[in-house]
Each structure stands twice: as C-alpha cells, then as structure tokens.
Structure 1
Amino acid sequence: MISVGVDGSPASSAAARWAAREARRRGLPLRLVHVSDRRGMAPPERAEECPPPHPIARIPRQVVDELRRFHPDLSISATVVFGSPAAVLDLTAEQSDMLVLGSRGNGAVPRLLAGSVALATLHRTTRPVVLVHPDDQRETDSLGGGAGPTSAPSREVLVGLEVTRPSDDLLRFAFDAAAHRAKVLRVVYGWTTYVPEGAPGAASADPLPDLVGNGALNTALAPWRAKYPDVEVEAEAVVGRPAEHLVDAARGADLVVVGRSTRRPLGISHIGQVTRAVLHHAPAPVAVVAHD
C-alpha cells in the first residue's frame, strides 16, 4: 500500500497525484490520510480512524474525487486521524510500502521545500518517504492527474550512493523504482578530494577517482544488476560537492533517491548534509530511504 498525507495545501495535492500514479504503476492500493491536530482528543499512540465532522472530512473526500476521475480503476481509501501529524504519519508509514508527503505544509509561515512536519516524519520513520514539490507536474500527460506539460516525461531515476558504505536498502528501492519506469537508473557517487583554490571544484571531473571507484561500485551494484537485468545503469563519479551534482541532475530526473543513516549514537536520528540539501533544493520528487 502507498499512503499519502493530505491537508488541502497545493503541496499535498501534488503529492496525492504523484502517489496515485505510483500506486497505479506498482499495482498497489492508495490510502489518503488527513491528520487533525487535536492532541487532547486522542494520543498519537492510540489514534484511531473515526467518523470525522463534516468540515474535516471534506478535504480527503475532495482529493479522492479528483483522483478517481483520472484513475477510476485504482483502489483508493481515505481516513481522518486525530493526533500529532508527525506521530500519526510515522504510524501510517510503518503500515505502508511508501509514504508520500507534500514538500510544503499548509502552515501560516512559508517554509523551505521540506516543511517541519515532513522533516519530523523523516526523523521518526524507518520506511521510505517521498517528498513532492507543489509545482511538480511530471507525467500528467501520460498517467493523468491534472494539467501539465505535453512533452514526454523523463523516466530516469537518480540515486546518490556512497560507494564506501553502499546500502542494500537504498539500492533495492532505487532499482525497483527504475524497474517500474523506463528502466534507467543513474548512479551518482561522490569523492572528497583537494580542489585548488579558485578552481570550479563542484564541476570538476577527475578520471583517477572514477578508476579507483569502479571496483567498489561494481561490487555494490552487481547483485542488483543480476536481480534487475532490464534496468540500464549509468554511473557518474563526481568530485567536490555531491549535493550540487544531485540537485543539478535532478532537473532531468523523474525521481531522486537518497539515504538517511539510522546508525547514530544514543539513537539520535540524523539527516546528512547531502540528503538535506537535496530535500531543500531538488526540483524533482525526492525519496528518502532509511538504512543502517
């Protein structure tokens, strides 16, 4: 099941459209979750689905009606849950194959791409979370879901990989996402080297790290290439700041996949600098995959 948080904002509407297309692509049911932040009524740990008052129910019902116009054969359900948004969405994610959220919430203060609820949810859940920009209109011509560009959409999946510590969870998600599209996976792996002052470090290309990295990269990708033989893999070594390369490459991607390590002292959740930069600046939907 794919779950998506809806709150009536443009970002959540874009997230719902993206989630519907992804659910249709994967043959999974779609569940819409609207969180009513009435913490005194039901603690998040015991938050239950319940018949909501009419004004609250209107938001998910409108989204369901819109999605069913474009995806009449898709199994779509909606529910309203009372509680803390981040806590409820964490519980929702644990019951889902994927959680999809808008990259901006419906708060009074404008935020960066990843809003406070989305970031709080990312810190809590161990399930893949996809954040969708409110202006994202990819694939609308091919799979429905609103007006959009008429040019053929990209099917490239972009993944940022740390070759010294490759994550099977990250690669599994990236290869699976590529397999459900046009089967093109672009792997960007970075190297931190000395860049002379004044040189265009973020844009430089050094063939030596590429040669050194091929062994580790091939070892990391080999089992996934065998499992997904139809996925075309394009690898790119970058020197300097991997986040800048990922953000730039995201302009032509259908989905960007990055990781979040859960291996931290005292159990403190952490979102690395590269993942945080991609979340805030990438124009494409971003999937964050938690891994050890």
Structure 2
Amino acid sequence: MSREIVAGVDGSPESLAAADWAAREALHRRLPLRLVHAWRWEPLDIPLEQDRASQERMADGVLREAESAVAGRYPDLALTAEVLPDTPVAALLSTEERAEMLVIGSRGYGAVAGFLLGSYGQQIIAAAHRPVVAVRSRGGDGGEEPEGGEIVVGQLGDAEDSAPALRFAFETAAARGASVRAVRAWSLPPLYAYSPASMALADEAGGLVPYEEKALREALAPWRERFPEVRVAEHVEIGSAGQVLLAASGSAQLLVVGRRARRGAIGPRIGSVAHAALHLAPCPVAVVPHE
C-alpha cells in the first residue's frame, strides 16, 4: 500500500503552517499529501435556528482555502483534500493506515499557554501509532518554517527503544540532504542504584561518560550503515533529557523525540520529554512512538 503524508487543517494560522510544512516534506520524500478537515453535523439543543448546509459550506471552505494555498505554492505536488465526518481526533487517527506521518499545527507557549495540554493535539500525539509532527506558525501568520540546520534527535534508553526515532531522523535527513545531531542526556545514578554489576559496565568503558558515549555509538551504528550519506554529530551531555534536547535544538530545522506507546492508568501519555519539546522547542517537533 502506497504511503502518504496527512495534515489536519482547521483554518488556523498554525494548521496552515502545518499544511505548508507537510507539503514540503511530501516533496522531499516524493510522497502525496492528503489534507483533511474534520466536521460532522451535531445540532445543539438550543432554541435557535441551525443551518446544516451553511455549516457544511464553511467546513468545505476551510479545506479549500488550505488546498488552494498549498497547490498554488507547490504545483508539482500530488495533493488531495477531503472533509472527514468525525471528531478531529478520530478523523485524523482514521488516516493512519496509509500515513507515513501525521502533521498538525501547534501554538506551543504562544498566545495561549499550554495549548496542547488537554487539546486535540495532545490526544492525537498520545494515541497515534505513526509519527506526529507538530508545527507552529512563525509570528502567528502561517509563515514558512525555515529549512536548513540539523535534524536533532534524542537517543534515550537502549538502542531498541530509540530505533524508531533514529530511523525517522535519518530518513528525514536523507530526504532533505541535512545532517543529524544525535543527543544522549545522562545523569548520575542515585546512591541506591549503584551496584557492582552496573559499575563494572561503566568501568569497562572507562567511566560513566565513555559508557554513555559507547551506548550512543552503538545505537547509531545500524543507521549510519543504512544512511552513509548522512553526516552525524554525536552529543552526550549530563542533564535532564528535556533540557539537553532543547538546548541542542536552538538552530535545528526539526527536533525528533520518542514516545513510549503504552497506556498508563489514566490513558495514553506523551511523556515528559515530548511534552517539553512540544511546548518549548523553536522548531517543528516530531514525536515517534515506540513499544
């Protein structure tokens, strides 16, 4: 089954910026772009006249505005657009079977602090089985996100945990002709976590820092072999993962973070690292689920 990039639009500057980013990514990857807008008729239980036809035209107008803007800027792009009769979360998630990635708009900490918390965006990111890229508009005008700079990716945990995020970062870098900066943050273990076995591993590597550097090299090895054309910088730094990643992504064109795809006691979560990146990173953020 052929893949496509799917972008959700709702008429906001953020969603128009997301559609523009998705269009350029689709061209980079030589994939079609599908724009979707969610709308379904839900009459309100109030004593006012409610015109379904006019609301339907408004929904279609939101979609056609985004479609026209994208088609005008990228005439060579294979583009489709449709209104999906469902809620925003369910509508976008229903496209996952064929989606290479989902792209949504995000305000981060802009005019509305914590926009993603409790919003459709967080629900989509937490429930999606495909990578989700959150794009904010520049200055609130839907302006183009600049390209150039590195693809920054967080390498957390072991090589298996971080493989989906590393794969996404290397694929994106290869398509764009960009370099990758792989970031591994670490911290001193608490006293109770020290054990002869754990310290023996660090001693074999020559200390805690060489141990972390070795872990990063080993996680990167298969992706360097698969994408030999991609330049890679290794970045190992002590500190919290969120802070280290944000510091490294100041001039990045994309920040890639992983998310453990497990349901917690209160439902799916996006995780603290992804949460920090989505709210504070100055560039688009790709959240890639892993088991």
User: What TM-score does the superposition give when structure 1 sets the normalisation length?
Assistant: 0.80
Q: Structure 1's 122 and 85: CA in aligned 2 closer, same or farther, altered over 3 A?
A: same
When residues 174 and 267 of structure 1 are mapped into structure 2, their CA distance, relative to the original with a 3 A threshold, is farther
> SS of the residue aligned with 1:66?
helix
Counterpart of 1:112 in structure 2 is 114
Asked if 1:180 corresponds to 2:175, the answer is: yes
Alpha-carbon RMSD across the aligned residues, in angstroms, is: 2.7
Asked if structure 1 preserves the Cα contact closer than 8 Å seen for 2:137 and 2:145, the reply is no
Tell me what 1:89 maps to: 92
SS in 2 for 1:180: helix
Say if 2:19 is the partner of 1:20. no
1:17 deviates by: 0.6
Superposed CA deviations along residues 50-90 of structure 1, whole A, max 9, x for unmatched, are xx832211111111111112111111111001222111111
Shift of 1:233: 0.9
Give the length in aligned residue pairs: 258
Matched-pair contact (CA < 8 Å) for 2:213–2:236: no
Shift of residue 110, structure 1, vs aligned partner: 3.0
2:6 to 3, 10, 34: 3
| Correspondence 1:103 to 2:106 | yes
Structure 1 SS opposite 2:94: helix
1:277 aligned partner, one-letter code: A
Of all paired residues, the percent bearing the same amino acid is: 40
Query: What per-residue deviation string (whole Å, max 9, x for no partner) do you get for residues 157-184 of structure 1?
Result: 0001114354221111111011112331
Within 5 Å, which residues of 2 pair with 1:1-292? 1-38=4-41, 53-104=56-107, 110-114=112-116, 116-135=119-138, 153-164=147-158, 166-193=161-188, 208-264=207-263, 268-292=267-291
Which segments of 5 or more consecutive residues in structure 1 lack a partner in the other structure?
41-51, 138-144, 196-206
Residue 79 of structure 2 aligns with an amino acid whose one-letter code is: I
- The alignment partner of 2:120 has SS state of helix
- Letter paired with 1:230: E
4+ residue runs over 6 A deviation: none
Aligned to 1:86, the other structure's residue is in SS state helix
Deviates more, 1:84-93 or 1:273-282: 84-93
**Are the structure 2 counterparts of residues 194 and 124 from structure 1 closer, same or farther at C-alpha, using a change threshold of 3 Å?**
closer
Amino acid at match of 1:123: A
CA separation of 1:111/1:79 partners in 2, compared to 1, >3 Å: closer, same or farther? farther
Partner of 2:52: none
Counterparts of 1:267 and 1:146 in 2: how far apart (Å)? 37
Q: Which segment is superposed worse, 158-167 or 185-194?
A: 158-167
Could you tell me how far 1:118 is from its partner in structure 2? 0.7
1:210 Cα deviation after fit: 3.0
Structure number with bigger Rg: 2
User: Which whole-Å CA distance do the structure 1 matches of 2:230 and 2:286 have between them?
Assistant: 18
C-alpha change, 1:249 and 1:77, in structure 2 (3 Å) is same
Q: Secondary structure at the match of 1:213?
A: helix
Query: Which deviations, in whole Å up to 9, do the C-alpha atoms of 1:97-153 show, x marking residues without a partner?
Result: 110000149xxx93425351110011211101000012279xxxxxxx95787xxx4
Separation in structure 1 between the aligned mates of residue 155 and residue 263 of structure 2, nearest angstrom: 19
CA distance in structure 2 between the partners assigned to 1:283 and 1:214 by the alignment: 27
